[in-house]
Amino acid sequence: MKFIANLLATLINLATLLGVGLAFCVAALTRDLPDHRALATWEPAVSTRLYAGDGAMIAQYARERRLFLPIGAVPARVKQAFLSAEDKNFYLHPGIDLSSLATALWSNVANYGSGRRMIGGSTITQQIAKNFLLSSDRTFERKLREAILSIRIDQTYSKDRILELYLNDIYLGLGAYGIAQAALTYFDKSVDQLTVAEAAYLAALPKAPNNYDPYRHPDRAVTRRDWVIEQMRRNGVIDRDVAAAATALPLGIKPKRQEASAEKADYFAEEVRRQLGSRYGEAALYTAGLSVRTTLDPRLQQAAMQALRNGLVAYDQAKGYRGPIARLPSLDGWQRALAKRQPLLDVPEWRLAVVLSAAKDTAELGLRPSGTEAQATAPADTVAIDRDDNGWALCRLTEGRRRCTPSLDGVLSPGDIVYVEKLEIGYVLRQPPQVQGALVSMDPNTGRVLAVAGGFSYAQSEFNRATQAYRQPGSSFKPFVYAAALDTGYAPTTLVMDAPIAIPDGTGKTWQPKNYDGRFSGPSTLRTGLENSRNLMTVRLARHLGMDLVADYGKRFGIYDELRSYLPMALGAGETTLLRLVSAYAVIANGGKAVTPSMIDRIQDRYGRTIYRQDSRHCTDCNALTWENQEEPVLVDNRDYVLDPMTAYQITSMMRGVVERGTARNVATLGVPIAGKTGTTNDEKDVWFVGFTPGIVTGVFLGYDTPKPMGYGETGGGLAAPIFIDFMKVALQGRPVADFHPPAGMTFQPVDRKTGRPAEEGAPGAIIEAFKPGTGPCDGSCAIIDDREMAELPGDDADAGLSPELREKLLNNTGGLY
- Picking from 425, 668, 433, 415, the residue whose alpha carbon sits closest to that of residue 531 is 668
Smallest CA-to-CA distance from 166 within 284, 34, 37, 44 is with 44
CA dihedral for 184, 185, 187, 192, sign (positive or negative): negative
Those residues with Cβ within 8 angstroms of residue 372's Cβ, 6 or more apart along the chain or in another chain: 345
CA distance 480 to 576: 14
**DSSP strand pairing (291-294 vs 362-367):** unpaired
Q: Which of 354, 425, 441, 417 is nearest to 390 (CA)?
A: 425
Nearest-angstrom CA–CA distance, 395 and 505: 45
Q: How far is CA 13 from CA 20, 22, 144, 219, 245, in A?
A: 10, 14, 25, 59, 62
Spell out the long-range contacts of 21-27 with Cβ–Cβ below 8 A and sequence spacing 24 or more.
Answer: 26/148
Distance CA(736)–CA(733), nearest Å, equals 8
| 506 closest CA partner among 547, 566, 569, 446 | 566
**How many Cα atoms are found within 13 Å in the side-chain-facing hemisphere of 158?**
4
Concatenating the DSSP letter of every residue in 34-54 gives --GGGGGG----B-EEEE-TT
Could you say which DSSP state residue 675 is in?
A: E
Whether residue 238 contacts residue 271, with contact meaning beta carbons closer than 8 Å, is answered with no
CB-based contacts of 282: which residues, under 8 Å, 6+ apart? none
φ/ψ region of 15 (left if φ > 0, alpha if ψ in -120 to 50, else beta) reads alpha
Q: Is 521 a catalytic residue?
A: no
Residue from 261, 291, 475, 524 carrying the catalytic annotation? 475
Contact 432, 345 (CB under 8 A): no
| C-alpha count within 13 angstroms, C-beta hemisphere, residue 610 | 8
Amino acid identity of 139? T
Sequence-distant (6+) residues with CB within 8 A of 788 are none
* 250, 229 contact by CB (below 8 A): no
> How many degrees, rounded to 5, is the angle at CA 357 between CA 352 and CA 363?
70
Alpha-carbon gap, residue 266 to 486, rounded angstroms: 41
Name the amino acid, one letter, at 211.
N
The sign of the dihedral angle between the CA atoms of 61, 63, 67, 72 is negative
Catalytic residue among 47, 86, 271, 291: 86
Tell me, letter by letter, the H, E, C secondary structure of 417-477. EEEEEEECCEEEEECCCCCEEEEEEECCCCCEEEEEECCCCCCCCCCCCCCCCCECCHHHH
- What backbone phi and psi angles, to 5 degrees, belong to 102? -65, -40
- Concerning whether 475 is annotated as a catalytic residue, the answer is yes
Identify whether the C-beta of residue 749 lies closer than 8 Å to the C-beta of residue 776. yes
The separation between CA 193 and the C-alpha centre of its own chain, rounded to angstroms, equals: 30
Amino acid identity of 432? P
Beta strands 57-61 and 522-525, pairing class: unpaired
Nearest alpha carbon to residue 468 among 565, 597, 577? 577
Q: What whole-number distance in Å separates Cα of residue 803 and Cα of residue 500?
A: 27
* CA distance linking residue 489 with residue 773, whole number of Å: 11
DSSP state at residue 497? E
The catalytic residue positions are 86, 475
